[in-house]
């Protein structure tokens, strides 16, 4: 489905709206289960972890591990690793984040994808947080493992949607045509182009709406069309006129953006909810977009 499409075994999630907090709570222990014979129990940092996913985390394909220091001593979190069977997650990640006694800190953790089975729902295991920490003035770095629970099944919901989007990507191809026409208007320069949708397999699909990324906006060129397109085995291809325009082209936006071409297209099959997926953005389209916001 494109540069940002969730490909096989590497699924990406594009969620609309904010996702709620999910507690992944546990008490820290150097061996994950109980006191170590080499370290007095009183010297151990007492930590609790919680996994959240905010609106900005969705497009960046990451979660945030909120680590809370329940002890009386300050802690330095040097490294963190989130392990979830069924997810592909890099780690450990260098953080060097101070964590004062009685406070909490959010530590972003990206994931590369979800392992989606050929049939059935994804199988997601219990999460665990592993940290390298220093406590108080002690220069010794120690490993702390926090057993975690997923109370509201956030990770299951992320994985289920990711695999649904991956399967959709195998059924429908979405990409921009390489030809764009620049128009200068009183409100700024815009580009007229075409989104090409093609049904590759399966039953009917409906294209209901499109949306832009942070730097570039995207809207239908015929906004009264509802739906924008319908794909069937008898009519498997549709060409949807679209308009691209500048959304945010400030120096700050250009410096911070990591996925400038993460456009969204909502697709559904009869009786199911819409899923937002990323169309393919080729080099000619990228070059055309730089005419309205260069970076």
- Give residue 196's pLDDT band: very low, low, confident or very high (50, 70, 90): very high
What's the sign of the alpha-carbon dihedral 73, 74, 76, 80?
positive
Instruction: Report pLDDT digits (tens) over 82-135.
Output: 999 999 999 899 999 999 999 999 999 999 999 999 888 899 998 999 999 999
Domain 28-151 matches domain 171-289 at the CATH topology level: yes
Give yes or no for residue 31 having a pLDDT over 70: no
* Dihedral angle of Cα 212, 197, 14, 256, to the nearest 10 degrees: -40
What's the CA gap between 62 and 162, in Å, rounded? Answer: 13
Residue with tokens 């080729």: 282
pLDDT of residue 130: 97
Instruction: Report pLDDT digits (tens) over 198-230.
Output: 999 999 999 999 999 888 999 999 877 789 999
Omega cis (within 30) before 37: no
Give yes or no for residue 44 having a pLDDT over 50: yes
253-276 burial code (b ≥16 CB/10 A, e <16): eeeebeebbbbbbbbbbeeeebbb
The three-state secondary structure class of 56 is helix
pLDDT of residue 4: 39
> pTM of the predicted model, to two decimals?
0.69
User: Higher pLDDT residue, 13 or 180?
Assistant: 180
Give yes or no for residue 237 having a pLDDT over 60: yes
Q: Does domain 171-289 have CATH number 3.40.50?
A: no
Q: What are phi and psi of 114, to 5 degrees?
A: -120, 140
Contact partners, residue 207, CB within 8 Å, separation at least 6? 197, 227, 228, 229, 230, 231, 238, 240, 265, 266, 267
pLDDT of residue 43: 59
pLDDT of residue 55: 80
Instruction: Report pLDDT digits (tens) over 135-179.
Output: 988 999 999 999 877 878 899 999 999 999 999 999 999 999 999
In CATH terms, the superfamily for domain 28-151 is: Immunoglobulins (2.60.40.10)
pLDDT of residue 25: 41
Give yes or no for residue 2 having a pLDDT over 80: no
pLDDT of residue 180: 97
Closest CA to 131 of 232, 57, 30, 37: 30
Instruction: Report pLDDT digits (tens) over 252-284.
Output: 667 666 788 989 999 998 888 899 999 999 999
Per DSSP, what are the bridge partners of residue 52? 64
Give the residue extent of every domain in the chain.
28-151, 171-289
The H or E element that residue 223 is part of is none
């Amino acid at each position: 489905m494109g540069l940002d499409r969730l490909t096989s075994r590497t699924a990406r999630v594009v969620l609309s709206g904010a996702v709620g907090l999910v507690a992944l709570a546990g008490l820290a222990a150097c061996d994950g289960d109980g006191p170590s014979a080499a370290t007095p129990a009183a010297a151990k940092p007492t930590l609790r972890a919680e996994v959240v996913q905010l609106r900005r985390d969705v497009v960046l394909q990451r979660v945030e591990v909120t680590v809370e220091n329940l002890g009386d001593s300050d802690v330095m979190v040097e490294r963190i690793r989130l392990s979830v069977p069924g997810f592909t997650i890099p780690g450990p990640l260098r953080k060097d984040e101070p964590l004062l006694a009685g406070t909490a800190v959010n530590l972003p953790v990206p994931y590369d994808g979800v392992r989606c089975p050929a049939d059935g729902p994804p199988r997601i295991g219990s999460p665990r947080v592993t940290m390298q920490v220093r406590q108080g003035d002690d220069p010794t770095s120690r490993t702390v493992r926090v057993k975690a629970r997923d109370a509201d099944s956030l990770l299951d919901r992320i994985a289920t949607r990711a695999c649904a989007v991956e399967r959709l990507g195998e059924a429908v191809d979405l990409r921009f045509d390489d030809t764009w026409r620049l128009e200068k208007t009183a409100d700024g320069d815009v580009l007229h182009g075409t989104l090409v949708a093609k049904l590759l397999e399966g039953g009917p699909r409906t294209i209901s709406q499109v949306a832009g990324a942070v730097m570039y906006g995207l809207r239908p060129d015929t906004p009264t069309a509802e739906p924008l397109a319908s794909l069937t085995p008898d009519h498997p291809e549709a060409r949807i006129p679209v308009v691209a325009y500048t959304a945010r082209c400030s120096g700050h936006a250009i410096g911070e953006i990591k996925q400038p071409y993460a456009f969204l297209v909502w697709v559904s099959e009869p009786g199911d909810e819409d899923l937002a997926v990323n169309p393919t953005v080729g080099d000619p389209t990228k070059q055309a977009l730089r005419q309205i916001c260069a970076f």
